């Protein structure tokens, strides 16, 4: 599919989606959401992709939230439909069986913070700014912010951010555990690519199972989470990658994971 509101490319088993409406600070409108959804479907169907990176076009923004010009025209039912569509797409992003890294290069506000925290982790440029400013528009987060943000940084911190609508810097986000690393803006993509390249050499099944066990385990009690891990561990042992990984160790050579799901 040809895309306009995003740029989609794949190189060395690493896919990159760049939100591409820089004049509107990459704000999320219906067209962009549709293209994001289609690109995620392409990625889910492609067994050669090991890692996905999300970033924003230009040097000012990752995503400055939902497109307010579009949002302002919605009645309550249209808003419900828009929020539900956003949730479905962000859930699809979170459930991809590969690693997903947000490279946040500027403003990540409202829907921008919400997309970034649905990724597996965030590397932020030193000029990045996060926030849930919806309260200043007389609304609340609608793409998962009231749910994922408290799970990530605790309910009190999430409430402060959501109640005040204030932006926080990349350094503050680092202290809150919202981002994994803060990187000089000009080095951000290089560092993200390096980590993505490292992850791309690992076993596909083990990465998928680790991700699913962590994500599923976050929403259940410890005993249930441990049972999820036991099943996932057993499943990994049935994969060609586990034979290659353990065999390579015993033969004192580097493992070469093929990433196939079956023999």
Catalytic residues: 114, 134
Question: Cβ distance 105 to 55 under 8 Å?
Answer: yes
Q: Which is nearer to ligand CO8, 66 or 178 (CB)?
A: 66
Q: Which is nearer to ligand CO8, 84 or 226 (CB)?
A: 84
93 binds ligand CO8 (CB under 6 A): no
Q: Which is nearer to ligand CO8, 41 or 59 (CB)?
A: 59
Q: How many amino acids of this chain bind ligand CO8 (CB under 6 A)?
A: 22
Stretch that binds ligand CO8, among 63-71, 201-209, 224-232, 234-242 (CB under 6 A): 63-71
64 binds ligand CO8 (CB under 6 A): yes
State the helix-helix crossing angle for 145-153 and 111-118, rounded to 10 degrees: 60
Question: Cβ distance 98 to 43 under 8 Å?
Answer: yes
The nearest distance, CB 154 to ligand CO8, in angstroms, is 21
HEC profile of the chain: CCCCCEEEEEECCEEEEEECCHHHCCCECHHHHHHHHHHHHHHHCCCCCCEEEEEECCCCEEECCECHHHHCCCCHHHHHHHHHHHHHHHHHHHCCCCEEEEEECCEEECHHHHHHHHCCEEEEECCCEEECHHHHHCCCCCCCHHHHHHHHHCHHHHHHHHHHCCEEEHHHHHHHCCCCEEECHHHHHHHHHHHHHHHHCCCHHHHHHHHHHHHHHCCCCHHHHHHHHHHHHHHHHCCHHHHHHHHHHHCCCCCCCCCCCCC
62 binds ligand CO8 (CB under 6 A): no
111 binds ligand CO8 (CB under 6 A): yes
Contacts (CB under 6 A) with ligand CO8, residues 116-135: 133-134
33 binds ligand CO8 (CB under 6 A): no
104 binds ligand CO8 (CB under 6 A): no
Question: Cβ distance 56 to 95 under 8 Å?
Answer: no
Binding ligand CO8 by CB under 6 A: which of 19, 40, 65, 236?
Answer: 65
Q: Which is nearer to ligand CO8, 9 or 69 (CB)?
A: 69
209 binds ligand CO8 (CB under 6 A): no
56 binds ligand CO8 (CB under 6 A): no
86 binds ligand CO8 (CB under 6 A): yes
Binding ligand CO8 by CB under 6 A: which of 62, 123, 130, 143?
Answer: 143
Contacts (CB under 6 A) with ligand CO8, residues 6-25: 24-25
Q: Which spans of this chain sit near ligand CO8 (rule: CB under 6 A)?
A: 24-25, 27, 64-69, 79, 82-83, 86, 107, 109-111, 133-134, 137, 142-143
């Amino acid at each position: 599919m040809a895309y306009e509101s995003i740029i989609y490319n794949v190189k060395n088993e690493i896919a990159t989606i760049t939100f591409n409406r820089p004049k509107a600070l990459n704000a999320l409108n219906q067209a962009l959401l549709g293209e994001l959804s289609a690109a995620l479907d392409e990625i889910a169907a492609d067994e050669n992709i090991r890692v996905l990176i999300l970033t924003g076009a230009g040097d000012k923004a990752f995503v400055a939230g939902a497109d307010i010009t579009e949002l302002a025209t919605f009645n309550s039912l249209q808003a419900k439909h828009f929020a539900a569509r956003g949730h479905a797409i962000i859930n699809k992003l979170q459930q991809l069986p590969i690693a997903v890294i947000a490279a946040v290069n500027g403003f990540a506000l409202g829907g921008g913070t919400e997309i970034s925290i649905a990724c597996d982790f965030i590397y932020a440029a030193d000029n990045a700014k996060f926030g849930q400013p919806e309260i200043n528009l007389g609304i609340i987060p609608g793409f998962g912010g009231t749910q994922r943000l408290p799970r990530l940084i605790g309910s009190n911190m999430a409430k402060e951010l959501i109640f005040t609508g204030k932006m926080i810097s990349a350094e503050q986000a680092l202290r809150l555990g919202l981002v994994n690393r803060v990187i000089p803006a000009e080095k951000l993509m290089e560092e993200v690519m390096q980590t993505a390249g490292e992850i791309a050499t690992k076993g596909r099944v083990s990465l998928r199972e680790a991700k699913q066990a962590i994500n599923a385990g976050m929403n259940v009690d410890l005993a249930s989470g441990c049972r999820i891990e036991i099943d996932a561990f057993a499943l990994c042992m049935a994969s060609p990658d586990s034979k290659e990984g353990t065999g390579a160790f015993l033969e004192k050579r580097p493992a070469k994971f093929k990433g196939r799901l079956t023999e």
